[in-house]
Chains A and B, each alone.
Chain A
Amino acid sequence: MTTTTAPPAASTPSGAADPGRPYRRSPLTWIREHLLAAITVVVFVFMLAPNAVILWMSFNQPIGKFDYDWNRFSLSAWKNPCATNEMCHSLGLSVEIGLIATLVSTALGTMIAFAMVRHRFKARSGINSLLFLPMAAPEVVMGATLTALFFNTIGPGSLGFWTITIAHIVFCLSYVVVTVKSRLAGMDPTLERAAQDLYATPLQTFMKVTLPLVAPGIGAAALLAFALSVDDYIITAFTAGNMETFPMYIWGSVQRAYPAQIDVIGSLMLICTMAIIALSQILGRARNARR
């Protein structure tokens, strides 16, 4: 793909100053005008190419156990998305843990965010930095410390579903707090005063004014928490015992086999995410268009 032509051998330094010749723009000008667009396209290709490859390879009929090389088009992986029982079981486990972790961390994190933004108390700034710790700490360290914690409190045999869930809630919490907090901080506190002034009880003020205004932040936080939980590998591996979540299954399967179904599941997740985003935008636009 060529984007530019070579500059002409004898280009006039300033074509516009010469009235005898038709005006010719310098190729440098062309580049300058299109550089931003070109870089934008490159960045998007760079970001989206892996997703495109996953979608493409999900239609492959692999030779042998590994879906790495393109062979020929086939729908067999899509028709039979559960390649093995373990794979779909591990996916179910991941979704289950993801939902519980999202629910608990969103509820807890939203409450923490309200406390941090709305109330002035002694240890506020200290707690604020502590909340950042799970985000800042390396995952390996977090995983190792959590294993040590579980070993020394509830014993080595207890690692499994609930230890994974607890670990996920721990690291999701920070992200939820940060997301909801920023939304809440951007909200005008006079709105709640106005509601009280207009006869709303504290509960009505929360339900009719505060919650609807903070809801987009809470929704975004929940989505983020779910995404973080479903694809976590490192901390999960430390706390899973003999359970196997979907990311762990994929990691393990790289050594045994890599069925095209993994790409099918990946594509499905991608499509679901895009559908959710598109839906929320359409709903938002429809609401704004209503007069």
Chain B
Amino acid sequence: MSSNDVLGRGTGGDLRLAGLTKRFGSFTAVDHLDLTIPQGSFFALLGASGCGKTTTLRMVSGLEAPSEGRIFLGDDDVTERKPHRRPVNTVFQNYALFPHLDVYENVAFGLRRRGIKDVKQQVADMLDLVELGHLARRRPSQLSGGQQQRIALARALINQPQVLLLDEPLGALDLKLRRQMQIELKRIQTEVGLTFVHVTHDQEEAMTMADTIAVMNSGRIEQMGSPADLYENPGTTFVANFLGQSNLIPGTVEGVRGDVVTVTAHGQRLTLPADRCRTDTGAVILGVRPEKVRLAPAGSALPPGVNALAGGVVSDASFIGVSTQYLVRLPSGEELAVFEQNTGCEIQRPGTEVVVHWDPSQSFGLDGSQDIEAGADLDEESAA
């Protein structure tokens, strides 16, 4: 079709950002971003507000011009193309449905602008996909938040863009609806097979839906990988703190023997696998997720080969049904978080002396020169 040629569609391919940079005055919002997003993947850009993720999205859609760098769709350089000439569509944060048009005309908007006369069947199919066919003649103001969100999705998807951009699309929905829409979005993405680029500050949302997550921090990509990769093996303290919760313990590398790294922390020897440790000399930050840590009464026998820190005192225990969340104060004054699953074991009262221990293969080692607190409070701030 000629309209497809106008938009440069048909060549297909990956979305590629090369050295993409955006400066606002002296502030660098996006800093030399190099990124390839494979065709058909569900990709999440995760970061706190102000990290440059939305600016990146707007440069891809063409609503913001980059200061430097190029944007490629397949082999086409689309950097200079106006937004209405790019085969890219956006689901906006506030949906941005046209209030003067009904649902049907909102969904048909993109097709009509491209000069397609017979839109009836396509609009009907698309409304069926989002299960809102019966609301075609309603105004956006007569719809609930979840319905508006789906119409915004339908309005973008009907154009079969090469890349669909989602800018915090679930931010305005309540928790229950958000969970439902996460599953729905994932279903639709699998069904239509388009590239989805999803911007969010909600790590759980990113983990639920995306194949690949890029964690952004001050205009750069901190780490990229599958949700499991990022969670199990974070590369920086920022990722360790921002994505879930981590116990980070500063220590010193004692030596590397074979594939085991030995670390001294608080006067105790701890070990971890060499392939999960990002430094082999000097200062190191040893990390372990709270749900991997176990508690044992002081003086009890521990399984052989575990990492153990003795002399801890339970300072807080909150029972939340599926698990009990403990804070354990170490002799050094540091507090470790421990999530113990409710499998029937006894709840330790605050004040009890305990030993914390964990399987060494579940720890990770980070370069000790970083700020140990990086990214720790950002999650709650941006969610508020």
Question: A residues engaging B (CB < 8 A)?
Answer: 188, 190-191, 193-201, 204, 208-209, 212-213, 288, 290-291
Contact = CB atoms under 8 A, between A and B. Distances in A.
Contacts of A288: 139
A199 B112 CA distance: 9
> Binding site of B, secondary structure by majority: helix, strand, loop or mixed?
loop
Given A204-B113, A291-B137, A291-B138, A199 B96 contact: no
A290 to B, nearest CB: 7
A200 B84 contact: yes
Contacts of A197: 61-63, 83-84, 88-90, 156
Contacts of B110: 198-199
B82 interface: yes
A288 B139 CA distance: 8
B90 A199 contact: no
Interface residues of B, number: 28
Given A212-B100, A213-B100, A199 B138 contact: no
B98 A199 contact: no
A201 B82 CA distance: 9
B61 A188 contact: no
Nearest to A200: B113
A194 B7 contact: no
A188 B96 CA distance: 8
13 contacts: A190-B92, A191-B99, A193-B63, A193-B83, A193-B92, A193-B96, A195-B109, A196-B63, A196-B83, A197-B62, A197-B90, A198-B155, A198-B159
Contacts of A191: 96, 98-99
B139 A188 contact: no
A191 B7 CA distance: 21
Contact of A194 (B62, B82, B98): B98
Give the one of A188, A195, A196, A290 with max B CB within 10 A. Answer: A196
Contact of A196 (B82, B97, B98): B82
B160 interface: no
A134 to B, nearest CB: 32
Interface in B81-121: 82-85, 88-90, 92, 94, 96-100, 109-110, 113-114
A168 to B, nearest CB: 32
B138 to A, nearest CB: 6
Interface in B44-84: 61-63, 82-84
Nearest 7 CB-CB pairings of A with B: A194-B96, A198-B110, A199-B113, A190-B96, A196-B83, A291-B137, A199-B84
A204 B98 CA distance: 14
A281 B88 CA distance: 40
Interface of B: 7, 61-63, 82-85, 88-90, 92, 94, 96-100, 109-110, 113-114, 137-139, 155-156, 159
Nearest to A194: B96
Contact of A198 (B62, B89, B94, B138): B89
Contacts of B88: 197
Contacts of A209: 98, 100
A194 B100 contact: no
Contacts of B92: 190, 193-194
B165 to A, nearest CB: 9
B63 A199 contact: no
B236 to A, nearest CB: 34
Given A191-B96, A193-B83, A199-B7, 10 more contacts: A188-B96, A190-B94, A196-B84, A197-B61, A198-B84, A198-B159, A199-B85, A200-B113, A213-B100, A290-B137
B268 to A, nearest CB: 55
A94 B138 CA distance: 44
Q: Which of A201, A208, A290 has the most CB of B within 10 A?
A: A208
A191 B159 CA distance: 18
B358 to A, nearest CB: 48
Contacts of A290: 137
Contacts of A291: 137-138
Contact of A213 (B94, B99, B137, B139): B99
